[in-house]
Structures are given as C-alpha cells and as structure tokens.
Structure 1
C-alpha cells in the first residue's frame, strides 16, 4: 500500500477502460480531493494530511468513464516547486526562529487538500481546515483563485474572524442553508457557528472556550447543530511559544471528557451542553432528532493515538493502525444523560450516507472503509455497508487492494434508501495502479471498474454531481 503515499507527477486527461457494465442511468461527475505531493526539494512533509492537493475527476456518460487529474496551483504548491515549505501544514512547519514566530503574521495554508464543494451558483471549491478555499474550473480542473482570508466559501458580505474551520460544511436539511463553524484563537477562544443563505453569511451561535479542541467535522439535524468537542485540546499561546507544527501543540486530556454541545438552528440558542467519557473522532456519520433526544453517530476511536499513527514514516513502515467503530451517542436534551452503543463490530472510517435524502434525518445505511478481519497491521483494505438498525454488515474485499471513501449515488427513480451505486477509488498494491470501483449499493456486488494507468495517492473526500463536463 506504500504507493498510496507516494507523490504523483502525472497530470492526464483520458478515457478509461471499463470492465463490467455501468448502470445506464449513471451520468455525472465524481470529483475527489487529496494529497499527491509529499516532498519540497530535499525536505519531506511529515504527515499524510500535509501533502499538496490534487483533484481527480471521473466523468460518467453512456456507459463510459473519462478521467482527469490536476494539482491545485496554490502558493503552497509553488513553494514546493522552489524546494521550500512555505506554509505551516497540519504537522509540518517551515523552519522559523522564535523571533520570526513572534513577529511574523501566521500564514494560513491555502493547501486545500481535504474536500470539495460543488455548487452551480457559486462555483466549485476545494476545501481544507483553514478558512481559505480554492476555486477551480470544473471543465479543466485549473485553479481559478483563492477566496479571501476570512472566507471559507464565496459570497460573504461580512467576514467572520477565525483561523480554523472544517472541510465538511453541511446543507441544513430543512432550510438548505450552508452551515459550518470557525474557531478564533485568543486569550478566550470562540467557536462561531454560522449559516449562509442568499450569499450572506451570519453568525448563528458562539461558544467561548479556554482550551479549544481539534474538531475535523460536526453534525446537523433538522432542528439542531451539534459540536462534539474531544479532549484533544490546545493552549493557543503554544502556537507562539513552542515552535511546533499545528497539531503537535494539542494535548490529549481524557480527564476533560468529550463534550456534546447542541444549538438550535432556529435562533442559535444553547439547547444542551453535556459531557461523557473521553473518545476521539475525525468523522461524524449522521445525526437526527428523536423524542427529546439528539442521536449522533460517529466513527469513534478510544483516544487520539490515530493522529500520530498517520505520520508518513509510520504509515510507510510497520505501524499498527488504530481502528474506529461506528458508535451511536444519544443525548437526552432534558436530563443531560448521554448513552452510547456500537452500531457494528466492523471498523469504519471515511463514512458516507445517502446525503441528499437522509442528512440530518433518521436513516438506515452507512458506507465506509474498514480493516479486513479487524487487523491493525495493514491500511484500510475493505469497504463495508452497515445497517445501523440491525448491525448487519456487507463487505467488499480483495487481497492487496485498498479502497478509498465510498461515495453513494442514488438512482434517479430510487425506491429504497440503498437504491443506487457506491463509487470508490481502489489502489492495487501489486500493480501500483488504481481503479474506480462501482458497487451496487443494495447488494454490495461489483458492477464495474474503470482502470487508471497510475497509482492515485490515498485521498480524503469527494462529491458527486449530476452535472457533466466536456472532456
């Protein structure tokens, strides 16, 4: 699987050979994002999350698949062309003296390597965990430009201050507003939950904190926004005093527990603020409102060891991989009690659901990557589908192959929640080539695969749109 953490120099545009048969209704485009350059001259990036962003597009039409890939042309990438690391990344920093740290304004990285936001009205954007989005041309994948410093997406009339955000904005299931948060570091740091409607962004709620936690994602329901604050926390002064990369300033403090903060989407009122035993997660699966409760499903790790496990020297070596499990947390909005239970004994990461129909609403099926046989001695090497009601699990696994995030695409006349296909980019470790795998979402049987002539580095997230583009 080491080819998945190797830099990719090729940028191509070509038709792929398809083995099997694609559904005749499958028409549109999958755009995926992820790191693809792990060096800057003689210097090497240290963590999987640090690699420079590359977009990969798979276009479906008339039973055929066309592929194009292209680096995001950002100042961060151009500094690597010069053999420099010009911006602080997740776990890699430029070499700066203590004088430079105090008297140089921190440069937020424009390396938008985590996710994409595809929107007809406001453009197509690559996203990361800093409030800098990168617009790209959907036809060519060429970089158009960067958003303003305090804007995670375009269209703001007023900037909202903050240095950290998520690359997982949500579409509110009832209003259609785009919802996210910004974290502003300071003597008294503040999470600001905001919504964007009619091209204007407004603060919905604020949560002051002395020790902000690292939050990669959050959840929405029909009525609420839920922040789950894990006890991987930071004293913001550490960024100046310790001289370490971003994530290495955080400390695991399990005695703090994990905090569930629930806000009303209607007026931003604080509905609940309760704690449970410590755990950590990158990704929420889904959430929904129940009778007097909020149900939050999360890919849960027992602690934050996984952050260290994803350093590149460990991934390329013989490290053990911590495994997350799909876990349900039910927050009683009256008593404050939080009850949890595993939804499956199969590990799950990079989760997806039928988003358009079930985001923020009760649902039945979740899809993700997993570890075959529960082994911690390899990378994620199988796909799983979990029935969150019964715990029943379906699997796709082939020895020596490593799938990425499974993206669900609903059939246009879908009669069931799982009526559609699942798309995943899979690396063949033996041939060091990738393919796009297409599974029937109901049965999890393979329908087709489209072969790519090179290895696609392991990426993070992607989105499917029904729009088609010229090749």
Structure 2
C-alpha cells in the first residue's frame, strides 16, 4: 500500500458539519473569518488506487474549514471540490480574492469557486481567459490588491504564462515567457517591480506517459507527444485520453533531468514581452515553495528566500521524498548577472509562510514546519532572517503540524504580532485540531477541537469576513 494512502495521509470518507466547537485556551476576539486548507482526499478504494500507481498529488481535493467569530469557533466543515466531469478536482491551495474563494491546482486545470460554506459553485469566471488554466501559488501585491501568477502545462511545452488579476478579479495582463523545456513550475515569487520565475530540472517526462499506454501504443503515443509538446495547445479531452484514462490516477508525468539547466528569472512586472526576462544560473535544485522575495534598497540586488530541495522525483515517483530540504536565500545581482546562495537553516522543513502584508517587500520573519524522514513532524519553526536564528517549537510526540498561516493582530500590527494557525493531527487520538500559536513566542494561544481527522495536505489561508 502506498505510504500516501495510510496513517496521516489516509483519506476520510465523510463530509462533516459540526457547530459550536470546543475550544481550549482563548481565541482572540478580533478573529472574524474562516481558516481554510485543502489537500488530496481520493474518493476511490485505496487498494485500487495503490494498484494503479497512486501519486499523492493526484487525489481529489477536499477543503477543511473552521469559522471563527467573537472568540468562538462557530463551525467546522469538510467538503470535496466537485468539478465538471472533464476537469480535475483542485487539491493544492485555497485562497480568497475579489470576494471569491478559489480552490486551486496547477498544470492546466482551472480553479473552482466555493461558497461561504465550502460547497462548490463552479469554475471561476476568469478561467476561460487564461491560456494554461491557473496555478496553485498566486501572489497578491498588498499595495495594489492584484493577484500575480505563473501558470504552466505540459501541453504548452516551453512556454509558461504570466497573468495578473486586478483587485476586482478581472484579467488585466497576460504574456508568455519562454523557458528551457517543459518544467514543473509549482510556485513563483513577486517583488515590487519584478516577477520571479523558477526554471528548474523537474520536467515533463514523455516516457512516463507513453509507458502507461498499452504496449502496442507506446511508440505512437511517444511520437504524438513529441509532436505536440511545445507547439500548439492540446484540448483537455485529448490530454485525458492520451495520459490518464477516465478516472484512473496514475504517475505524475514529471521527473528529475540531470541535463536540464537550473536558473531563476526576473521579469519586469510592466513588461509587454516575455523576452524581457533575465536569467540567473544556480546550482541544480528544485523549489516547491517561496518564503518571500524583495529588492534590496540602494543596490542592484534581488533576494529570494525559498525552501530548496537538492533534487526531486529522481528515485521516488509517488510523492516528494528525495531527502531533506532547507531554507536558502538566493541573491540575484542585476549588475553582475550572477546569483549567490546562502543556507539559513539546516532543519528539514517545508511549507514556508510569511506575513503577507509584506509580500514582495523586505521581511524579517518566516515560518515553516519540520519534516522527519520525508513526513510531517511535530515541529513549528520561526526564522529570523536578520539575526540568522531559528526558534523551534515542538508540539509533542505524535502531533503532526501542517502548514501554519500568519494572521496579524491588527492591520498595522508589527511583523510578528499575531497568531500562527494550522491543523495538527494527533496520531494517538486519530483526530485533528486547529492550533493557534503566538507568532512572537510560539506559545499556545488556543486549540479548536475538531470532530474528525484532517489528512496531511497542502496549503490554505485565512479568509477574513467581509
């Protein structure tokens, strides 16, 4: 059985609604909104999925939410994202923009809108205007309210799409960027004047796709894919028929390529042509997630803080398990055209977050969760990038921390004046909690006790009430 179908990864079978949840500690009274997080929760029989070659990234999405108001936890709900028959159910991120709650995934699939109680409304209205679906990791500029994103799809080959949604959710700007091949581009970053693009050596693997076809069809499939990848877009129905088959999860068709150059690009946000991107070579690595990026005042330097993996999908193809990842700062020097790299911290970690009021601006603090042998651990980490120190909070044996989201105490509060909130799974109880920690000290603030288990998943956000 796949490790991603057991224990903390095991899917839950029911959609629950629970009201007036029990709280330990005291919820800050100013918190008025929903904490939302999404992750894979396959609906099919786990044994059948394992036999088909299940990959963690391919399970149908389920959103888990808690409504906080006036110091109370009003409700908990978990709901599958229910897409149209031809679409993949988003499973990677859930964000609020322009008054809409969006469930997101990458690689060409469209985002879906959810209502206030997490039921699926349908495709987001702008989806038809985007060439390559959307991304799992858009970044909102706190000054303009615009949502910036880089979207990729193997059907687009060596082209990715930079898009900007305005504060009202309308598509304001879009252009193509040419990259070296057909990479998996999970995240991007934003500064005040630049978009940061990662062109790294996890790339579309034609042989993995062709290998899933019946043996007599493998050569024709490989030849057909070679003809379309990097050329004209392919319809969703053709992609479905050629790669996955109806309703059958299979390997994610991306793998490590030793011959692919690793580089980071800077594109001026006001560029009208993707050729304006400037590339900086880096040592081979892979980046799923950015902590933040910013321009250093008075210099020609751009700083990009990320969690860096030495490689990805080189020997393990069912999930991201190729050894520990660490927090790294890339400094891109526009004057020299060179990139340097500094490792902040040696803790194995992932899911970095920061105070999103500072997206694209100089930050001091970042937060992540510790990993243990490729799996979530019981550690929450706070990084001080100015002092160069890391504070560690252990939640207790068997209490597995998911991604922690920072919520400030007030709109003008100091950078670490607020709470971190995220789901924590208690292995011994078989249940999960929404845990709130003081962002300054990492001490307990409150715990909301949930009626069920939240499987190990991906990303989420705090969605304040209107």
* TM-score of the aligned structures, taking structure 1 as reference length: 0.81
Q: Shift of residue 334 of structure 1?
A: 2.3
Equivalent residue for 2:188? 218
Moved more, 53-62 or 3-12: 3-12
For the pair 1:324 / 2:302, whether they are aligned, the reply is no
Q: After superposition, give the CA deviation of every residue in 1:422-469 in whole Å (9 maximum; x if it has no partner).
A: 00100011111111111000000011111112211112111112207x
Structure 2 vs 1, CA of residues 9 and 306 (structure 1 numbering), >3 Å: closer, same or farther? farther
Q: After superposition, give the CA deviation of every residue in 1:185-212 in whole Å (9 maximum; x if it has no partner).
A: 4586311212122544254442224521
For the pair 1:71 / 2:68, whether they are aligned, the reply is no
Structure 2 vs 1, CA of residues 247 and 44 (structure 1 numbering), >3 Å: closer, same or farther? closer
Instruction: After the TM superposition, list the runs of 4 or more consecutive aligned residues in structure 1 that deviate by more than 4 angstroms.
Output: 184-188, 235-240, 242-248
Structure 2 vs 1, CA of residues 134 and 302 (structure 1 numbering), >3 Å: closer, same or farther? same
Say if 1:309 and 1:322, in contact at 8 Å, map to a contact too: no
For the pair 1:39 / 2:47, whether they are aligned, the reply is no
Equivalent residue for 1:26? 31
Q: After superposition, give the CA deviation of every residue in 1:257-307 in whole Å (9 maximum; x if it has no partner).
A: 311111001224625212111001211111011221211111001111488
Structure 2 vs 1, CA of residues 264 and 424 (structure 1 numbering), >3 Å: closer, same or farther? same
Q: Shift of residue 60 of structure 1?
A: 1.1
Structure 1 gaps of 5+ residues are 77-106, 148-153
Equivalent residue for 1:115? 93
Q: Shift of residue 343 of structure 1?
A: 1.5
Q: Shift of residue 236 of structure 1?
A: 6.1
Equivalent residue for 2:406? 408
Equivalent residue for 2:380? 383
Q: Give the aligned length.
A: 416
* TM-score of the aligned structures, taking structure 2 as reference length: 0.82
Structure 2 gaps of 5+ residues are 211-220, 223-241, 245-249
- Please, what is the CA RMSD of the aligned residues? 2.7
Separation (CA, whole Å) in 2 of partners of 1:377 and 1:299: 14
Separation (CA, whole Å) in 2 of partners of 1:137 and 1:307: 40
Q: Shift of residue 244 of structure 1?
A: 6.0
Say if 2:103 and 2:114, in contact at 8 Å, map to a contact too: yes
Equivalent residue for 2:146? 177
Separation (CA, whole Å) in 2 of partners of 1:29 and 1:266: 34
For the pair 1:343 / 2:348, whether they are aligned, the reply is no
- The 5 A counterparts of 1:28-427 are 28-37=33-42, 39-40=44-45, 43-44=48-49, 46-65=54-73, 66-75=75-84, 109-121=87-99, 123-129=100-106, 130-138=108-116, 140-147=117-124, 154-155=125-126, 159-162=129-132, 165-183=134-152, 185=154, 189-197=158-166, 199-209=169-179, 211-234=181-204, 239=209, 241=221, 248-268=252-272, 270-290=276-296, 291-305=299-313, 308=316, 310-311=318-319, 322-355=323-356, 357-371=357-371, 375-376=372-373, 378-397=375-394, 398-412=396-410, 414-427=412-425
Say if 2:300 and 2:335, in contact at 8 Å, map to a contact too: yes
Say if 2:254 and 2:313, in contact at 8 Å, map to a contact too: no
Separation (CA, whole Å) in 1 of partners of 2:393 and 2:314: 24
Separation (CA, whole Å) in 2 of partners of 1:3 and 1:38: 16
Structure 2 vs 1, CA of residues 210 and 188 (structure 1 numbering), >3 Å: closer, same or farther? farther
Query: Counterpart of 1:126 in 2: which secondary structure?
Result: strand
Separation (CA, whole Å) in 1 of partners of 2:130 and 2:83: 23
Q: Shift of residue 234 of structure 1?
A: 2.5
